[in-house]
Structure 1
Amino acid sequence: MSNVTSRALALSTLLLSTSALAANSKPQPVPIVDTIPAARDIAFPGTIYLDVTATDLDRGIIEVRETIPATPGPLVLLAPKWLPGNHNASGQIDKLAGFTFTANGQPLRWVRDKVDVFAFHLDVPAGATSVEARFQYLSPTAEDQGRIVVTREMSNIQWNAVSLYPAGTFVRNIPVVASLTIPAGWKAATALRPTATTPGNRITFGEVAYDTLIDSPVFAGKYFRADDLGHGITLNTIADAPKELAVPAAVLAKHRALADQAVKLFGARHFDHYDFLHAITDRMGGIGLEHHRSSENQNDPGYFTDWDASVSDHNLLPHEFTHSWNGKFRRGADAWTPDYRTPMQDSLLWVYEGQTQFWGTVLEVRSGMSTKQQVLDKIALAAANLDNQPGRSWRPLSDTTNDEIISNRRPEPWNSYQRAIDYYQEGLLIWTEADMIIREKSGGKRSMDDFAHAFFGINDGDWGEVTYTYDDVVRTLNQVQPYDWAGFLKARVDDVAPTAPLAGFTNSGYRLTYGDKPTDTAKAVFKSRKVADFSYSLGFQVGKEAKLADVRWGSPAFQAGLVNGAQVIAVDGHTYSDELLADAVTTAKGGASPIILTVKRGDEVRSFSLPYHDGLRYPRFIKVGTGDGALDKLLAPR
């Protein structure tokens, strides 16, 4: 037998045996062993010292040095993963790089956990009392990398993105002293209070618990102003340009009224001081995020200086401020966690966010941030969206509270059928109806204001956390006004409902209707969102570059085969414009000829026929009742 033949037979035998192995073997899964200590409610031995340098404005690279008390033996350091207010595992581990760890001046080997990639395993040598960690946070330099947090004029430092913490202890038991260096000439705002500012614009803050640090982000900027709103509340604003910091007296008065109306509403303050962190910018990324003693807020240029045109932004500060009471002081029991590794559960977001949307909207009107008509016009847009939603046929509102974890607000192909974070606006509708019922059953003696006092107005001055359950919500409602609140909430939250819960409006003398022209408020909203809205006629919006967005399931556009992302290039043979399409819809009203859209999708260009003849339709609430109904009384200032 030749060597060639011998090798061929050996290879054939090997292939046969390998084939048999693949066909007959039954691999078993590798057991997942959690080698990370669980958080315990014990004291932490020592204080973490965190030093952050955020002066690189060209590249946005933030340098971190952290000294962590440790004892000899295994040590697990964690990057925050499950972040309160984000309602999901949104920690930015992908932005951290350059890790080095040392003890006694000697480098330590580190290993990332195979299961939890937010965890780092180290062995602390004998004689060491601490570990020093050095790394960088590589902030996004373009929108497709994430939210931009560093520009030439401002920065947003979130401590969860620039720190590690040791596993095994409740984060409320870990003391931290943090320092932050920002560019020369800049000023910073945060709920933390500085103890020293040293040369180089290095600010050192007082010792706080790690969870308080994480809950106290920083806005810093070149152009800065601070306004005292009363009640220990400060509006701190940074901007792209000095002109954006010119605040008309009447506009500032509305923000002072917001502080005043909120304290009157809840009857207690759950902060020793409160700082609005407010950026007016189109360069740093957008944000609206609650904290216990502060909130991160971004509005577009013109917020102060073109107040009427910025109406779509007037709900942001009232909403985030409300969260100090609802979401931070009072928090769903399954959303409270002892550390940032334990998964949060979002089952009560229809209270946490839904009732915050309700109270934020009420405060928006009561403070004069927007007029009652402007707010009704904005609610009409949300109500129409919810009332024309095919996804209501299969998905109850309670299930949408899982969407933060399921999709993390990523774009969806068929939003109206899939449903997303509907608990915000539908929560607003539900709690408006609850207010109407309380007023009706009590003969006008009580309202949701009484619920606010009973549920959120306890323990004045306490800025810890008090958790609640579904039963606690029902119990407090019954204390305010006896009623079948469990059945009320089950029908609106847990059951499938074909239409939106609009009784709080209809029974207060308001009807949702549709006209052929948008309200002035709707026009401002569409302009802010950079869309042309044909949602209730053709069944879509048109966004940037004339691309279709939010194509509605079952609409004329859906029936024709149009999808999100397709680019409209012509209407009835003429080059596309928003005005041309609106004119075509108007012209086709009552006629027989379809509207022809020429659309580009990828490298394919096609024409679609839409046989739609009912004209333009835009939602609004109209007053059909007489006198002041429950809704009018709800929105009146205190």
Structure 2
Amino acid sequence: MKKFLALSVLAALSHSAWADVNYSLTVTQPEHHLGNVSVEFPQTAQAHLDVKLPAWRTGRYEILNLANGVRFFEAKDENGKALKWKKVDASTWRVHLNEPTEVNIDYQVYANELGKRARHIDDSHAFIDASGFFMFSESFRQEPVTVKLDVPAAWRSVSGMDNAGSKHSFKAADYDVLVDSPIETGVNELRKFAVDGRDYELVIWGEGNYDVEQMLTDLKKLVATGNIIWDAYPYQRYVFMVHATSGAGGATEHLNSTIIQRPRDRFGSRKDYLAFISTAAHEFIHTWNVKAYRPEGLVPYDYTHINYDKLLWIAEGSTSYFEDHLMVRSGIATTDEFLDVLTKTVNRHLSSPGREVQSATATSFDKWINQGGDHARNYSTNIYSEGALISMALDIDLLEKSQGKQSYRDVHRALYNQYKMPHGFTATDVKTILKQLTGRDYGKWWANNVDAPADIDFEALFKKVGLVLTRPQDAKAVASVDAMAKNTGELLVLTHVRRDGAAWQAGLTTDDKIVAINKKHVGKDLELSLETFKAGDKVIIDFIRRDALQSTTLTLAQSFDKDKKLVADKNATAEQMALFKAWMGVEHPNLAKK
């Protein structure tokens, strides 16, 4: 890729002069999600110019085939004369040139993919990620760009990019900055604030049960926490974009901004609000981890192909891990709320058989094709939760062996200082940093926990910081089929069948419709239907598969009506409580409650 870019630069040198690439977007029929794009490329003497639309967007490691929304492609020279062109692959248009000329491109974009956070236009706004709208040429990728929007007069346009002379125009140093600086334009609410000499903006599109003042209060706390991990901030201005939607959810990090989407009624409760603000913490951390430094396989971004790397568990999982630290250290979340979140992550890990099969290295490499669903839970892990737990195990190991003087934060501080963009880091680089910090070789630890499925001893790990993972005393043993089901109104449909569990051994699988247990109709809740049974009982399960009634015999397994919970060890030693404080930056719960 680096060689390819170098050739592109040489090709660009044949241009008569360096000049901006100018983009414009006209929102033509917002109710039909349509806009027209024009691109002006500087003069070039090449025999042809390849223009491309990215096949994926940064922050989402999945081929999205974004060119599927392009229609009415046209190419003209600097005098307005039509140029011949042909499409050479799914995302590339080749424009043929007979003589040196500027190249002007026009096309229509259909933008109705809000949840993918790539492009969306309706009668109230447009969310513009350049990946979904603006074509580029490798020959001009490193040249300055401008963007001009033609939108309704009442709309407001906000971006991490600087304005370029008007309220609906922006400029960026090159295409890579453009593609990492989305624009929110429309009817929205905008608040501005400053913290520690840096400027921030909060722009919200859509009505919802959010409390803007609470958001501002906590965002001010959040953005002040960067120095907990890193020595400096990589931006002077940062934009939080929030969408209150009719169902779409998710978030994406960008160079000096983020877009966070939540259903409009999912901000009000404490649980929902914490989910929102912890997402903001996650994306804020990405400003360093991924945007300021990232794994070598993502440097530079190849916008039209898969960007393979085995360290996405650091890019995403370590970010998920640190978000809880910033939430607690800033005072936004309590220690009890942190322990509740960590409990769920650990329990989800322990109940997922895929943890025995796939390593963090493998799940990172396969992120682009991981299919999710029941099979993934049985045979795969994911870069987020698995990466977070491995990060935690490494962090506590570093803290314990250094008596609280060294932590995983030091590793990321070193990555930021030593491997700032445009350099990328490798697994060898991370292990080298670990050895530089500690004097110890982490090769064996890495082989056992990263390159192989991690086998974390949570009891021993949490004991080091004065915590215990225990089942509540009032928990009761219950019978289980080792499967999950959803109520469809009349029948229960299996959605997850645990590998090698009771239902699995009995031959049941996902999408089987459970009709009866021991010839008695199963109600709306599988657990309630098992209340009269105990572990070890053999039962007859009647179920429907391929529209035919079938039966199987199943031996019930043992489960509990309450999961294990992570709580403070009442007998924690002074040393363990001190390590907890070095870990989380706050007093151990035993001391905090005194």
- TM-score bracket, shorter-length normalisation: 0.7 to 0.9
Q: How does 1:225-374 map to 2 (within 5 A)?
A: 225-228=190-193, 230-231=195-196, 232-241=198-207, 244-249=209-214, 251-283=215-247, 285-337=248-300, 339-341=302-304, 343-374=306-337
Q: Deviations over 1:271-318 (max 9, x none)?
A: 1211122222235x3232111211121123245433344434442111
Q: How does 1:488-567 map to 2 (within 5 A)?
A: 488-497=445-454, 503-514=460-471, 538-540=482-484, 542=486, 547-567=493-513
Say whether the 8 Å CA contact 2:318–2:391 is kept in structure 1: yes
| Partner residue in 2 for 1:581 | 526
The alpha carbon displacement at 1:357 in A equals 1.5
1:620 to 565, 577, 580: 565
> Structure 1 stretch 272-281 or stretch 227-236: which is displaced more?
227-236
> Structure 1 stretch 390-399 or stretch 209-218: which is displaced more?
390-399
The alpha carbon displacement at 1:348 in A equals 1.3
Say whether the 8 Å CA contact 1:91–1:160 is kept in structure 2: no
Q: Deviations over 1:403-422 (max 9, x none)?
A: 22223xx34441223204x2
Counterparts of 1:68 and 1:543 in 2: how far apart (Å)? 56
| Partner residue in 1 for 2:438 | 481
Say whether the 8 Å CA contact 2:480–2:535 is kept in structure 1: no
| Partner residue in 1 for 2:590 | none
Identity across matched positions, percent:
22
The alpha carbon displacement at 1:602 in A equals 5.2
| Partner residue in 1 for 2:385 | 425
Q: Deviations over 1:602-638 (max 9, x none)?
A: 5345566654253434242233351525345422359
Unaligned runs of 5+ in 1: 1-34, 519-533
Which is higher, the Rg of structure 1 or of structure 2?
Answer: 1
Change (3 A) 1:636 1:184: same
Say whether the 8 Å CA contact 2:404–2:583 is kept in structure 1: no
Q: How does 1:32-43 map to 2 (within 5 A)?
A: 39-40=8-9
Say whether the 8 Å CA contact 1:154–1:240 is kept in structure 2: no
Say whether the 8 Å CA contact 1:47–1:68 is kept in structure 2: yes
| Partner residue in 1 for 2:592 | none
Which one-letter code corresponds to 1:48 in the other structure?
V
Counterparts of 1:230 and 1:595 in 2: how far apart (Å)? 64
TM-score by length of 1: 0.79
The alpha carbon displacement at 1:269 in A equals 0.4
Q: Give secondary structure in 2 for the equivalent of 1:401.
A: helix
The alpha carbon displacement at 1:153 in A equals 3.8
Which one-letter code corresponds to 1:507 in the other structure?
K
The alpha carbon displacement at 1:204 in A equals 1.1
The alpha carbon displacement at 1:492 in A equals 0.3
The alpha carbon displacement at 1:66 in A equals 1.1
Say whether the 8 Å CA contact 2:267–2:276 is kept in structure 1: no
User: How many aligned residue pairs are there?
Assistant: 567
Change (3 A) 1:504 1:61: farther
Change (3 A) 1:550 1:316: farther
Unaligned runs of 5+ in 2: 588-594
Which one-letter code corresponds to 1:494 in the other structure?
D
The alpha carbon displacement at 1:400 in A equals 0.8
| Partner residue in 2 for 1:64 | 37
| Partner residue in 2 for 1:14 | none
The alpha carbon displacement at 1:501 in A equals 6.5
Does 2:584 match 1:635? yes
Q: Give secondary structure in 2 for the equivalent of 1:188.
A: strand
Change (3 A) 1:543 1:129: farther
Say whether the 8 Å CA contact 2:201–2:239 is kept in structure 1: yes
Say whether the 8 Å CA contact 2:114–2:120 is kept in structure 1: no
The alpha carbon displacement at 1:214 in A equals 0.4
Which one-letter code corresponds to 2:501 in the other structure?
S
2:345 to 377, 382, 385: 382
Say whether the 8 Å CA contact 1:584–1:595 is kept in structure 2: no
Counterparts of 1:161 and 1:119 in 2: how far apart (Å)? 14
| Partner residue in 2 for 1:149 | 120
Change (3 A) 1:37 1:209: closer
Q: Give secondary structure in 2 for the equivalent of 1:197.
A: coil
Say whether the 8 Å CA contact 1:516–1:617 is kept in structure 2: no
Change (3 A) 1:604 1:317: farther
Q: Give secondary structure in 1 for the equivalent of 2:165.
A: strand
TM-score by length of 2: 0.84
Counterparts of 1:565 and 1:151 in 2: how far apart (Å)? 36
Counterparts of 1:347 and 1:141 in 2: how far apart (Å)? 29
Say whether the 8 Å CA contact 1:386–1:499 is kept in structure 2: no
Does 2:444 match 1:470? no
The alpha carbon displacement at 1:179 in A equals 1.1
Q: Give secondary structure in 2 for the equivalent of 1:588.
A: coil
Say whether the 8 Å CA contact 2:374–2:510 is kept in structure 1: yes
Counterparts of 1:239 and 1:102 in 2: how far apart (Å)? 37
1:224 to 166, 189, 196: 189
RMSD: 3.5
Change (3 A) 1:413 1:430: closer
| Partner residue in 2 for 1:445 | 405
| Partner residue in 2 for 1:8 | none
Counterparts of 2:434 and 2:380 in 1: how far apart (Å)? 28
Counterparts of 1:154 and 1:52 in 2: how far apart (Å)? 13
Does 2:107 match 1:135? yes
| Partner residue in 2 for 1:414 | 375
Change (3 A) 1:629 1:433: farther
